Amino acid sequence: MNKHWNNKIILITGAGSGIGRALAQLFAGEGAQLILTDIKADGLAETTESVASSVLLSKQADVSSLEDWRMLVQEIEQGPGHIDVLVNNAGMAPFGYFDETSEALFNKVMDVNFNGVVNGCREMLPLLEKAERGLIVNVASIFGLIAVPACSSYHASKFAVRGFTEALKQDLMFQKKSVDVVCVMPGGIKTNIANFAESDSADARDFAKHFASVALTSPEKAAKVIEKGMRNNTFRILIGPDAKVVDWLYKLLPTSYYRITNPLLGIRKILG
Ligand code: NAD
């Protein structure tokens, strides 16, 4: 066991599935004390049961709700009084062209994927500052660096998470606050994200099938890469060979990468 996380208090959002669940299980094995949240009670209960002895608090909460964040802050203040790590992981990925996506769905994606992260950082920062050294882990995506068609709300939210995270890191550095910030940029991870997708597009089922065939990395492997990046305070944590190739292609072809990434990701297969 790596002593780094022993007894550290780690809050993970979206802990009821995929990457969040794998992180909870990994950190439980490392002796951390967990605060787990998810909007879905059933997934959260399953994760909580699987790591029960490490769970300090398990709470159904919506990251886009300030009220839910403030309730969590209150419970933490009345309990341990601080957290060491905040992992802003919860997210959703709808599919469909911009003009097929309702205003309500577009705004919901921004509320969950982007405002959810900002809310978490704002509300939890005082509790992170009470730790010996706090750490914020914001899960963006390689789709916060490049874009593909039919995912405009997802890209808008993830580009925003990356921009916010890069700015926040520098704010905290300049303010000499004792809180580090890292940004996670996964490529395709084999989770339920496409199956859970809310969508206004008729092609959403094809998207889920296609996603399952191109996602290369398991959530457990993703959790290992994230843990290592957190331990080393790696600012941009790229996950999977696809993320590394895309990161490199973007540097090489910043305005025409899509001529290569779209065929590489098989976009034509779903969009025709
Ligand atoms: P997942 O769907 O398996 O898990 C996401 C979890 O977030 C679910 O349990 C869901 O209930 C929860 N959630 C959704 N909306 C929420 C809300 N409003 N409040 C609280 N919880 C909410 O997906 P995942 O792949 O594990 O995704 C985790 C993060 O990784 C997301 O931010 C996603 O955008 C990002 N990501 C995933 C991939 C991938 O290929 N799977 C790639 C890049 C980035």
Which pLDDT value is given to residue 185? 98
Per residue in 21-77, pLDDT (tens digit) is: 999 999 999 999 999 999 999 999 999 999 999 999 999 999 999 999 999 999 999
Concerning whether 97 is annotated as a catalytic residue, the answer is no
Per residue in 182-194, pLDDT (tens digit) is: 999 999 999 999 9
Q: Whole-angstrom Cα distance, residue 230 to residue 265?
A: 28
Out of 154, 250, 257, 258, the active site residue is: 154
Q: From the alpha carbon of 186, which atom of ligand 1 is closest? A: 43
Rounded to the nearest 5°, which phi and psi values hold at 215? -70, 125
**Number of domains, the chain:** 1
CATH number of domain containing 219: 3.40.50.720
Q: What value does the mean pLDDT take over residues 238-262?
A: 97
Question: How are beta strands 55-60 and 236-239 bridged, if at all?
Answer: unpaired
> Which of 125, 10, 5, 113 lies closest to 62, judged by CA?
113
Which residue range is the domain that position 104 belongs to? 3-271
**Spacing, Cα 18 to ligand 1 middle (Å):** 7
Predicted model pTM: 0.97
Which pLDDT value is given to residue 246? 96
Q: Ligand 1 in contact with 63 (CB < 6 A)?
A: yes
Looking at the predicted structure, is the pLDDT value of residue 1 above 80?
no
> Which of 6, 23, 55 lies closest to 220, judged by CA?
23
